[in-house]
C-alpha cells in the first residue's frame, strides 16, 4: 500500500485493487504546493468523502467528471454532488458498509458538523460527519477518522475493525488537538502506524505535528508525519 499525503486531510491511497483519493481539497489547499491535480488524480478509481465541508469535498466534482471515478459519501452529500453533475455515486450512512470492488468502506461516527454555504448565502446541511474504515484483501486496514474530537466509542470501532493504520486529525480548534489525538490513539486503538493530518493549512490551526508526536512517545505505534506530497509504503 502506498499512501501520499496531499496536505490537510487529503490523501492518495494506492493498492492492488484501487487508486483512491480521500477528501481531495487541493485547489485552495496551501499545503498542496509543488504538486499537480492531474498528477495526483491520474488513474483514480474512487473518491471517498468523510463529510461535506469545503475543505474536504474540495475538487471532488471536477476530478470525478475528469476521471469517471466512483464517489462515496453520506446520502445527503451524495445527493448534493449528484445535482452538481457527479454521475457515479455510492451513498451510505453511519454504521453502513459499502463494497467497492476490491475493498469495503464503513461509515463510522465522528464528532463534527457537515454543511456548505452557497453563493446565494444559503447554508445546506450535508448529512453526518463520518470517519471511513477501509478493509482491503491482503493489505493493511486503514481508518481515516475524518474531522472529530475524541469519544469513548472509538474503542468499539477498534474492537469491530482492528485498523492497522490510523489517519488522525490533530490541528485543534475544529478537531481534537495533538495531545488529545495522541490520547485517543493510545487509549482506544492499537494502530501499527498513525499518520497525523488537518494541520498546517490555515493560520488558526496548529502548524506542526509536534504535540501529537510528543504525546505518542513510548507507544507501540509508529508515527509517520510525511511532508505534503511525500509518500509512504506500508
Domain of residue 54, CATH code? 3.60.15.10
The sign of the CA dihedral 148, 64, 127, 52 is: positive
pLDDT given at position 52: 98
Give the whole-angstrom CA distance, residue 178 versus residue 196.
9
Is residue 118 assigned to a domain? yes
pLDDT given at position 118: 82
End-to-end CA distance of the chain: 5
- Give the domain extent around 129: 2-228
Q: Cβ(188)–Cβ(155) under 8 Å?
A: yes
Please count the structural domains in the chain: 1
Is residue 233 assigned to a domain? no
Angle at 51 between CA 109 and CA 116, to 5 degrees: 135
Give the whole-angstrom CA distance, residue 60 versus residue 69.
10
Closest by alpha carbon to 129, among 145, 141, 114, 108?
A: 114
Is residue 94 assigned to a domain? yes
Give the whole-angstrom CA distance, residue 56 versus residue 147.
9
Model confidence over 118-165: pLDDT tens digits?
878 889 899 999 999 999 999 999 999 999 999 999 999 999 999 999
The beta strand positions in the chain, using DSSP E, are 2-5, 11-14, 19-22, 46-48, 70-74, 89-92, 97-99, 103-109, 115-117, 123-125, 130-136, 142-144, 165-169, 193-197, 222-223, 231-233
Q: What is the DSSP string of 80-92?
A: HHHTTT--SEEEE
Residue 152 CB neighbours (<10 A): 9
pLDDT given at position 120: 83
Q: Cβ(155)–Cβ(125) under 8 Å?
A: no
Tell me the average confidence (pLDDT) per consecutive run of 10 residues in the chain, 234 residues long: 98 97 97 92 98 98 98 98 97 98 96 91 93 97 98 98 98 98 98 98 98 98 97 97
pLDDT given at position 34: 84
- Grid cell 468523502 in the structure block, residue: 49
Give the whole-angstrom CA distance, residue 167 versus residue 184.
12
Is residue 110 assigned to a domain? yes
Is residue 234 assigned to a domain? no
Instruction: Look at the pTM and tell me if it is higher than 0.85.
Output: yes
Give the whole-angstrom CA distance, residue 64 versus residue 104.
19
Is residue 109 assigned to a domain? yes
Q: Cβ(143)–Cβ(156) under 8 Å?
A: no
pLDDT given at position 66: 97
Is residue 223 assigned to a domain? yes
Q: Cβ(91)–Cβ(126) under 8 Å?
A: no
Give the whole-angstrom CA distance, residue 21 versus residue 10.
7
Is residue 165 assigned to a domain? yes
Amino acid at each position: 500500500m502506498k499512501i501520499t499525503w496531499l496536505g490537510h486531510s487529503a490523501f492518495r491511497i494506492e493498492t492492488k485493487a484501487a487508486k483512491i483519493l480521500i477528501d481531495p481539497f487541493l485547489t485552495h489547499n496551501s499545503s498542496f504546493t509543488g504538486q499537480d491535480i492531474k498528477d495526483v488524480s491520474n488513474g483514480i478509481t474512487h473518491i471517498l468523502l468523510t463529510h461535506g465541508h469545503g475543505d474536504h469535498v474540495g475538487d471532488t466534482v471536477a476530478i470525478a467528471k475528469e476521471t469517471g471515478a466512483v464517489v462515496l459519501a453520506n446520502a445527503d452529500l451524495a445527493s448534493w454532488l449528484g445535482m452538481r453533475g457527479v454521475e457515479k455515486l455510492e451513498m451510505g450512512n453511519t454504521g453502513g458498509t459499502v463494497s467497492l470492488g476490491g475493498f469495503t468502506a464503513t461509515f463510522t461516527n465522528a464528532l463534527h458538523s457537515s454543511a456548505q454555504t452557497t453563493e446565494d448565502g444559503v447554508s445546506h446541511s450535508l448529512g453526518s460527519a463520518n470517519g471511513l474504515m477501509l478493509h482491503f484483501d491482503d493489505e493493511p486496514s486503514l481508518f481515516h477518522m475524518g474531522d472529530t474530537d475524541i469519544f469513548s466509542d472509538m474503542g468499539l470501532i477498534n474492537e469491530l475493525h482492528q485498523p492497522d493504520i490510523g489517519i488522525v486529525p490533530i490541528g485543534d480548534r475544529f478537531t481534537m488537538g495533538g495531545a488529545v489525538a495522541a490520547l485517543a490513539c493510545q487509549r482506544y486503538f492499537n494502530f501499527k502506524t498513525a499518520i497525523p493530518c488537518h494541520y498546517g493549512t490555515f493560520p488558526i490551526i496548529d502548524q506542526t505535528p509536534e504535540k501529537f508526536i510528543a504525546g505518542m512517545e513510548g507507544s507501540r505505534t509508529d508515527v509517520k508525519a510525511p511532508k505534503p506530497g511525500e509518500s509512504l509504503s506500508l
